[in-house]
Amino acid sequence: MANTSLRRARLLVAYDGSTFHGFAKNPEVPTVEGALTEALEKITQTDIHLVAAGRTDAGVHARGQVLSLDLPTRTKIDSLPKKLNALCGPHIAVREAAWTDASFHARFSAIWRHYRYTVLNAATPDPFLATTAWHLHQPLDVRPMQLACDAVMGERDFSAFCRKPVSTGTSSNESSNDVDECDESDGAATDVGASRVNATGVAGRARKPASMKRYVMKATWKRTGDLVEFEVRANAFCHQMVRSLVGT
């Protein structure tokens, strides 16, 4: 595609993960990144490289996934969400698009990530919640579950809760030890969002996690009728961390 003057932009995206085989691009199966990249390249007629605040696996939904990318300066940023939603909908919704500082990086500028895991705690399953909640018929007592959350607060080594990373020979900026990835293949997890310091998306570089150490800022259980929700916020998550915390 033609070379052109580029400018850094930020997208805020929501998607239904049950329709895709995860976020990361894979030429063999439908993915969120693949669909967005194809639509963006069609609109801009420029090669597009997306950077996500966190990579979600198959079945994980998102309400506030943050993406950074470089777009041609001629791009009409205000009308971009409408154009993208026309091409990517209904399972992907671009909620916001804005120009941002050239130093903004969706992954490294994120201060925290927030996930919600939903459990349907009822005698029978609900077909309308099949892609958004894990059905568990055994009665759950939220009070001791909440007390257990104290043990995961603060900075801890979560090696026991994560699938061990495999060295891929990537650069230090893409080290597998520093991946924020949520693998919740039963569809009960939702990536609620990643924080930005201000509306333009400018943020300082977050502290790079060492090995499997993560800093958990929030971990709470809440029951509303038959729905039991676990919300967790941390500087980053490792592979299968949220799922393992819920199961434990």
pLDDT in tens, 167-210: 444 333 333 333 444 444 344 666 666 654 333 333 334 545 44
Per-residue pLDDT reduced to its tens digit, 87-97? 998 999 999 99
Residue-wise pLDDT for 98-131, tens only, equals 999 999 999 999 989 999 999 999 999 999 999 9
Residue 125 preceded by cis peptide, ω within 30:
no
Q: Which of 57, 70, 178, 191 is catalytic?
A: 57
CATH code at 6-99:
3.30.70.580
User: pLDDT tens digits, residue range 207-236?
Assistant: 454 478 888 999 999 999 999 999 999 988
Which residues belong to CATH 3.30.70.580 in the chain? 6-99
pLDDT of residue 28: 92
Judge whether 57 counts as a catalytic residue: yes
Residues of the chain with CATH 3.30.70.660: 113-247
The pLDDT-based confidence of 2 (bands split at 50, 70, 90) is low
Stated pTM of the model: 0.79
Question: What is the CATH class of 113-247?
Answer: alpha beta
